[in-house]
């Protein structure tokens, strides 16, 4: 209990300083209440795919209100379709900024007053929530999550499963990554714009840096390889044998040490725009003629490239980088003491396990979702105009079979930030390598006295 309290205090501090794992996506989120009548029509026409058991209450006879707290407004997009099946269940969704989420959630759960029936967890802290007793175990009756397991991407399911094997949270999305690159720049300087050929040229970190040098030389320094070297951390995060903390001990995987030198090389040789993710310069690179690629998960395409590609629409494509990766996401679960568990499960099931609703959601918003069958169906349809006809579902389906096992920990949000600060200090020559590593270790030790730092 003491350890959990220490973690809570630190988490409260960090989320007042940093945003969610999906970057700019969450900078747009503000506190608001979304009523049923205001919700979007994404799932209109979606039907319940599960066969109703004879003993189960008919959908129209279920009535009441459920309260949902979320760090984003995506769940409101499911309400209208849900109410076509369950017309007498009111869904009240309140959006709370990610930086304030845990500090508002935990006191509400502790007191039981005004606590939500369903609440979300972002990737930076979802494992902390999963390993508490806040969320209901969905493994047994009446939830029977086992009937859906085969159709949920393993990574998504693993993140929502606690250390004892209980499934606590599910998601409506998945977030595998890619190198999102410019076809026209590739054709001009690399001789091809084909995604498979570009993937081969980027199949290792050494090769990726060779391409960066080729672009720089061939363009007389006018074309930068990356928008920001910090984007690459999205990929490096998955390139580890373990998470940050194992048996209460800090683990610095050798690949994380390698990243110090990768960042410094990019900085010193001018291979990026020397800017931070979600800055104006970084975002504007979508329409520029001087930036080759972003290294981002699915939300990078959905929230950055696709909406901003006007003159560059059709000039983008997805390629594999040195390692397959996944980064980000939102999970949701049912409060274990909710008085409305039956109603809450109906909504959670509809938003995360119903193939019809998720397919409608994916088709309207272009998001890669958590159900294999939906992503596989969409892989057979027309590709993306912005991507020159490439089908993003076909590409990401292949990536999801390659992504490594989940290495998230309860400490990721703050430790990730501390690590990037140390890498920045080294890349900018503010600190030497050993001093930067020591700064990282000291920061972790000061924030988490319970973690052993060798």
pLDDT at position 13: 39
Decide: 70 and 96 in contact? Cβ < 8 Å. yes
Q: What is the pLDDT of residues 41-80, one digit of tens each?
A: 444 444 443 434 435 789 999 999 999 999 999 999 999 9
Decide: 175 and 368 in contact? Cβ < 8 Å. yes
Instruction: State both tokens at 58.
Output: 């008919």
Q: What is the pLDDT of residues 330-353, one digit of tens each?
A: 999 999 999 999 999 999 999 999
Using the predicted structure, report yes or no on whether residue 259 has a pLDDT greater than 60.
yes
pTM above 0.75, yes or no: yes
- Give the whole-angstrom CA distance, residue 52 versus residue 59: 9
Q: What is the sign of the dihedral through the CA atoms of 47, 48, 49 and 53?
A: negative
| pLDDT mean over 182-202 | 98
Class of domain 177-325+406-447: alpha beta
- Give the whole-angstrom CA distance, residue 131 versus residue 351: 22
pLDDT at position 31: 37
- Give the whole-angstrom CA distance, residue 100 versus residue 108: 13
119 - beta bridge partners?
69, 333
Instruction: State both tokens at 183.
Output: 């076809």
Which residue from 445, 22, 430, 98 is spatially nearest to 248, judged by alpha carbons?
A: 445
Task: Choose the CATH number for 2-174+328-378 among 3.40.190.10, 3.40.50.720, 2.40.50.140, 1.10.390.10.
Answer: 3.40.190.10
Provide φ and ψ at 312, rounded to 5°: -100, 5
In what helix (H) or strand (E) does residue 182 lie, and over which residues does it extend? strand 177-182
Using the predicted structure, report yes or no on whether residue 250 has a pLDDT greater than 60.
yes
- Give the whole-angstrom CA distance, residue 412 versus residue 354: 30
- Give the whole-angstrom CA distance, residue 8 versus residue 106: 9
Provide φ and ψ at 132, rounded to 5°: -95, -175
Q: What is the pLDDT of residues 113-160, one digit of tens each?
A: 889 999 999 998 999 999 999 999 998 888 989 999 999 999 999 999
Instruction: State both tokens at 144.
Output: 């029977």
Give the start-to-end residue ranges of the domains of the chain: 2-174+328-378, 177-325+406-447
Decide: 392 and 400 in contact? Cβ < 8 Å. no
- Shared fold status for 2-174+328-378 and 177-325+406-447: yes
* pLDDT band at 394; cut points 50, 70, 90: very high
pLDDT at position 322: 95
Cα dihedral angle (387, 389, 392, 396), rounded to 10 degrees? -100
pLDDT at position 2: 38
């Amino acid at each position: 209990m003491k350890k959990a309290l220490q973690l809570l205090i630190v988490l409260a501090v960090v989320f007042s300083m940093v945003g969610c794992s999906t970057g700019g996506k969450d900078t747009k989120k503000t506190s608001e209440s979304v009523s049923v009548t205001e919700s979007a029509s994404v799932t209109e026409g979606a039907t319940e795919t599960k066969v109703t058991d004879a003993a189960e209450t008919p959908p129209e006879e279920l009535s009441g209100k459920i309260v949902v707290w979320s760090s984003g407004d995506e769940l409101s997009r499911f309400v209208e379709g849900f109410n076509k099946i369950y017309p007498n269940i009111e869904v009240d969704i309140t959006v709370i900024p990610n930086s304030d989420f845990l500090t508002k959630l935990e006191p509400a759960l502790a007191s039981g007053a005004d606590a939500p029936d369903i609440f979300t967890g972002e990737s930076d802290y979802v494992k902390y929530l999963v390993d508490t007793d806040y969320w209901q175990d969905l493994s047994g009756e009446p939830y029977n999550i086992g009937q859906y397991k085969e159709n949920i991407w393993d990574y998504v399911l693993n993140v929502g499963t606690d250390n004892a094997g209980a499934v606590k949270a599910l998601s409506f999305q998945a977030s595998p990554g890619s190198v999102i690159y410019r076809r026209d720049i590739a054709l001009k300087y690399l001789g091809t714009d084909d995604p498979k050929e570009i993937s081969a040229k980027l199949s290792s970190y050494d090769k990726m840096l060779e391409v960066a040098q080729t672009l720089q030389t061939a363009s007389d320094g006018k074309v930068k390889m990356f928008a920001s070297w910090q984007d690459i951390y999205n990929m490096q995060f998955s390139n580890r044998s373990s998470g940050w903390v194992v048996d209460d001990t800090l683990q610095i995987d050798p690949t994380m040490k390698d990243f110090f030198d990768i960042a410094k090389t990019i900085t010193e040789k001018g291979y990026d725009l020397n800017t931070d993710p979600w800055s104006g310069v970084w975002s504007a690179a979508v329409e520029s003629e001087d930036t080759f690629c972003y290294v981002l998960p699915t939300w990078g395409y959905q929230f950055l490239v696709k909406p901003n590609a006007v003159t560059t629409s059709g000039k983008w494509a997805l390629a594999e980088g040195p390692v397959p990766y996944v980064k980000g996401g939102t999970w949701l679960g049912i409060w274990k003491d909710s008085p409305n568990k039956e109603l809450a499960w109906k909504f959670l099931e509809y938003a995360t396990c119903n193939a019809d609703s998720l397919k409608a959601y994916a088709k309207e918003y272009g998001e890669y979702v958590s159900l294999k069958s939906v992503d596989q169906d969409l892989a057979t349809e027309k590709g993306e105009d912005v991507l020159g006809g490439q089908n993003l579902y076909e590409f990401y389906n292949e990536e999801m079979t390659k992504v490594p096992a989940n290495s998230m920990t309860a400490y990721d949000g703050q430790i990730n930030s501390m690590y990037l600060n140390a890498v920045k200090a080294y890349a900018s020559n503010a600190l030497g390598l050993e001093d930067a590593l020591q700064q990282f270790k000291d920061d972790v030790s000061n924030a988490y006295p319970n973690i052993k730092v060798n």
